[in-house]
């Protein structure tokens, strides 16, 4: 696997060959994956599927196969993208789907972001469906600082109601039967990832019912 290369600005990232943005405007609830495609595998698949099945708006930045360009979340400036700006103007609540990898922990699902009430709510829905080998961490002080998603310039915190940043571990995104990333190069989704999507759909729907 290629080493990650850091990019300094959103406009620089978007100018790279093969980088694309996806956007679908539906409701004022939004789901995004800003590190999708070759960087944080399967994250855009999760965001796209959950958004479609909950009538949520959707936005993603997709890197091509083999691309490993990383821009810090706080540097995704909507002034540098008409599509991100359009998306953020439409929504009032956001879930941002990310992937992370730690050599000492492949099994913790981390729920950061500024909307702590929604983080606790979604955590409950996920615990109901995920296998016991996974831990759902919704206490902000138990999440590694770089993965907390609470920087004010992080797009997940832009909407009026803030949002939840969900960091998905490799164990959930990797299809162990096919020995590759779910939804990449023709690899089907793992059953664990399907369960994660199911839990998120349930959590988003019940959250919106609760707030309506």
Which tens digit of pLDDT belongs to each residue from 40-50? 999 999 999 99
Token digits of residue 117:
């009430």
Q: Report the alpha-carbon distance of residue 122 to residue 113 in Å, rounded.
A: 12
3-state secondary structure (DSSP) of residue 120: helix
63-77, 95-109, 191-205: least confidently modelled range:
95-109
Whole-number percent of the chain with pLDDT over 90: 89
Predicted confidence band of residue 103 (pLDDT cuts 50, 70, 90):
low
pLDDT of 104 > 80? The answer is no
9-65 pLDDT, tens per residue? Answer: 999 999 999 999 999 999 999 999 999 999 999 999 999 999 999 999 999 999 999
Question: What confidence score (pLDDT) does residue 3 get?
Answer: 85
pLDDT of residue 172: 93
pLDDT computed for residue 1 by the predictor: 59
Grade residue 184 by pLDDT with cuts at 50, 70 and 90.
Answer: confident
Q: Residue 94 to residues 39, 52, 86, 123, 177: CA-CA distances in angstroms? A: 21, 14, 14, 15, 32
Which residue from 140, 97, 118, 129 is spatially nearest to 210, judged by alpha carbons? 118
Average pLDDT over residues 131-138: 95
Per-residue pLDDT of 187-204, as tens digits, reads 999 999 999 999 999 999
- Within 8 A by CB and 6+ apart from 43, the residues are 33, 35, 36, 60, 97, 98, 99, 168, 173
- Provide the whole-model pTM: 0.96
């Amino acid at each position: 696997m290629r080493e990650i290369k850091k990019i300094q600005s959103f406009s620089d990232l978007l100018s790279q060959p093969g980088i694309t943005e996806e956007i679908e405007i539906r409701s004022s609830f939004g789901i995004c994956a800003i590190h999708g495609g070759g960087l944080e595998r399967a994250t855009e698949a999760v965001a796209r599927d959950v958004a479609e099945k909950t009538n949520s708006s959707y936005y993603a930045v997709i890197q091509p196969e083999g691309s490993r360009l990383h821009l810090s979340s706080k540097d995704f400036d909507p002034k540098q993208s008409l599509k991100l700006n359009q998306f953020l103007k439409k929504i009032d609540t956001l879930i941002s789907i990310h992937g992370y990898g730690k050599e000492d922990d492949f099994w913790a699902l981390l729920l950061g972001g500024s909307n702590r009430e929604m983080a606790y709510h979604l955590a409950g829905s996920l615990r109901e469906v995920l296998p016991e080998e996974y831990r759902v961490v919704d206490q902000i002080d138990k999440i590694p600082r770089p993965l907390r998603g609470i920087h004010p310039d992080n797009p997940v915190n832009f909407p009026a109601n803030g949002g939840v940043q969900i960091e998905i571990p490799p164990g959930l995104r990797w299809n162990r039967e096919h020995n590759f990333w779910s939804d990449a190069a023709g690899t089907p989704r793992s059953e664990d990832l399907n369960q994660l999507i199911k839990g998120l759909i349930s959590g988003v729907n019940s959250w919106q019912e609760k707030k309506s």
